[in-house]
Structure 1
């Protein structure tokens, strides 16, 4: 019996979850209600079924998240009886530990709440949904990616991972980011979601939405600071390829209302999802790598 490519990817991810659960004492899964974290949770439940997932979930809430995604997050947690910790950027702004940025985006502000949550709960492994096809800096990651005692990433400290052997050794205060979806592509994710019948927030499918254009992207109006003078709001048929902070996550024009139609769009696309729809990745050529060095996802 030969596995098809989705079976092979599933088997690899399940193996990674089991290896990490066996090797670390206090793992946690980053869960935002976005498609990659939804896929990770689905794979984790497969890895440990019929037992419950042996770790909780962590969401760093910017306060500018899409309501549809937060509603999905809460429904999923309640449905499966999961433990969810929420680190809120707004709390840090309210007590002065962080300041709002002039551009209104809170994505870069997630690093401090994330690292504080990791330290306070003594998480020694953090599952993230990063994939190597998304962006140059993410392509440099190993499956088990060491972070130092300050939560910082150094690409020169990455360890070899031959024959699917993963090294989770770390000193006190350090932790490891684990990426079970490293070898998946965006198209793989959608094809697997279709095969497994995984429910997603409606934001991923074409719908009428009030948006305005900035930097070549369609952004949703909100309290974060958009639109500005001269930016006209209009109703368009759009969908989201990725979701994050509303201030930097753009929609794409689309009429795809089914998984089959979304898969056809992705297969024809020449841009990665982050390259097409994430303003924070366009700040500089090394924007993502700079944030990862500081402790970002």
Structure 2
């Protein structure tokens, strides 16, 4: 089990990139959701022992990972957002190089991992010829070389086409059956179908950690659909949390987060997960 205990990462006197986060995570896929600058990457770098908390502790299986970082690194797989490769190396040579760095001496494991990420037929191609999706899959393969108990993946589908995104999500879902997989993203669709839990960060603070089903359940009764003319839209917009607005001829089709009917012909609708997260964001803002 991975435990974060009142973790703070502060830069300077007044900037807390991560602000007093307490969290317990076990096997499965956890989506770390938040806008750019919410603290996701900083938190993942601390879990990966690349930077230390200003205060608080991160504990894995009872061991403080910053007091004994080597014990964590031996059981960790990490794919950063900016994953670089040596362009003149083939995928096979790249994997052999990282296997040597990690002390993995089983050539058959390299073959199995390249098959797992569907790169075995391109194993001898230079990495410089790979697409963005192929490079991300190669990154996952190197992260799995030491058979880690925790896999940390930062913004895994950035720049990928829809087919590669689907393949990548399916791979992470499969890995989450036996490992703790932490996926950082600001794109809700990356995790809505595979995450067991969603941890939501806002301005460095953890505002919620729950199952997608529970988040959707709380949003029901708070998301509305309405069709209004442009004059009513101009009137509603300043005081309403409009999730989506689409022009339809002389009217606007709106999706609105609000605790009660925002206008006369509004009707309740089933929220998407993204809408549920936005509705929760506005509820938190109003409570504050």
Length-normalised TM-score, structure 2: 0.28
Q: Could you say which structure has the larger radius of gyration?
A: 2
Bigger proportion of residues as helix: 1
Q: Which has the higher strand share?
A: 2
User: TM-score scaled to structure 1, two decimals?
Assistant: 0.27
